[in-house]
Amino acid sequence: MDGWIFIDKPKNITSFDVIQKLRRILNIKKIGHSGTLDPFATGILAVALGEATKSIHYFNPTKVYAFNIVFGESKDTDDITGKTVNRSNIIPTLEEIDQCLKKFTGKLSQVPPKYSAVKVDGKRAYKLARNNEKFELKAKEVSIKSLECLGTKNSKEYCFKMECSSGTYVRSIARDLGKMLGTFAYVSELRRIKIGGIAEKDIILLDKFEELVHIGVHFEVMHSIRDVLDDIPAVLIDDELSHKFQNGLSFEYHSKKSETNYLLIETKNRLVGIGRETKGKIKPIRVFNL
């Protein structure tokens, strides 16, 4: 069982809860996910099984979110699950929001929410926040390809869509947007609708997947490592070279591509691993035992 499944994470459970349930359902030890979703969020949770866990780091990090922001109020968690901290009568117009959104595209420095899994001196920030401990989080660079306001849901709530790099906090976007507009804001709804080439058409509800496991047809909704990493260029080699590669040995390869690119190494029959070109040779980075 070496591949990927894409679960439609339900509300009010953690990403770790989903992994634990899948571990029990599938009776599998090697399992992991790419990109945590907050408990109140829904949408695509990318889950790697078996040898596919070795490919998590190389899975396309670009993500697309659909979310709603409520203006005129802030929460301690920056989302709907938190306690109200501040209120304001200032509710921005669509035109005012659009003007500010231009400042949120490209590379920018973002401070994660206080209630996040970021570590501060070895401790999770959310645990420190729950204990009312004072601490500061360092800003980190993220990249936002696009951010648009799709319109209003009601007088205080607006709908948004964003394409961004891995590690971008939607809750921080809401917090900072509210501040820029002279008011307060928090995320009321959040759904991840795309990761790389995986869209909502590729996902399955957790309960539905469990049903498929019980009748033994869950393999039909699994995706191979090769399919999931289809944005990485591939190099076809023979069996002799594949044995060398799997034993940690490099082989000669010359290409005009950047030496920083990862390459999928495969034979006619199977995926062998992931390598990187360095000085005219491909060096093994990850080897799959498929």
Q: In this structure, what CATH number is given to the domain that contains residue 120?
A: 3.30.2350.10
Q: What is the mean pLDDT of the chain?
A: 93
Do 20 and 131 lie in one domain? The reply is no
How many domains are contained in the chain?
3
Do 7 and 79 lie in one domain? The reply is no
What is the mean pLDDT of the segment spanning 148-159? 95
Long-range Cβ contact pairs of 111-115 (< 8 A, separation 24 or more): 111/137, 111/138, 111/139, 111/172, 112/137, 112/140, 112/169, 112/172, 113/77, 113/78, 113/169, 113/171, 113/172, 113/175, 114/76, 114/77, 114/78, 115/76, 115/77, 115/78, 115/82
Evaluate if residue 1 carries a pLDDT over 90: no
Do 94 and 176 lie in one domain? The reply is yes
Domain coverage including residue 22: 3-59+198-228
Evaluate if residue 283 carries a pLDDT over 60: yes
Do 185 and 77 lie in one domain? The reply is yes
Do 67 and 185 lie in one domain? The reply is yes
Query: Is 38 considered catalytic here?
Result: yes
CB 153 within 8 A of CB 159: yes
Q: What is the pLDDT of residue 35?
A: 86
Percent of the chain, pLDDT > 90? 77
Evaluate if residue 21 carries a pLDDT over 90: yes
Per-residue pLDDT band at 285 (split at 50, 70, 90): very high
pTM: 0.90
Do 188 and 71 lie in one domain? The reply is yes
Do 260 and 216 lie in one domain? The reply is no
Evaluate if residue 257 carries a pLDDT over 70: no
Do 175 and 241 lie in one domain? The reply is no
Closest CA to 190 of 68, 282, 78: 68
Do 67 and 191 lie in one domain? The reply is yes
Q: What is the pLDDT of residue 37?
A: 93
**Active-site option among 38, 78, 79, 202:** 38
Do 152 and 204 lie in one domain? The reply is no
List pLDDT tens digits, range 191-218: 999 998 899 999 999 999 999 999 989 9
Per-residue pLDDT band at 121 (split at 50, 70, 90): confident
Domain end (from 195, 220, 252): 195
List pLDDT tens digits, range 216-256: 899 899 999 999 998 898 999 999 999 999 999 998 887 76
Do 85 and 118 lie in one domain? The reply is yes
Do 156 and 258 lie in one domain? The reply is no
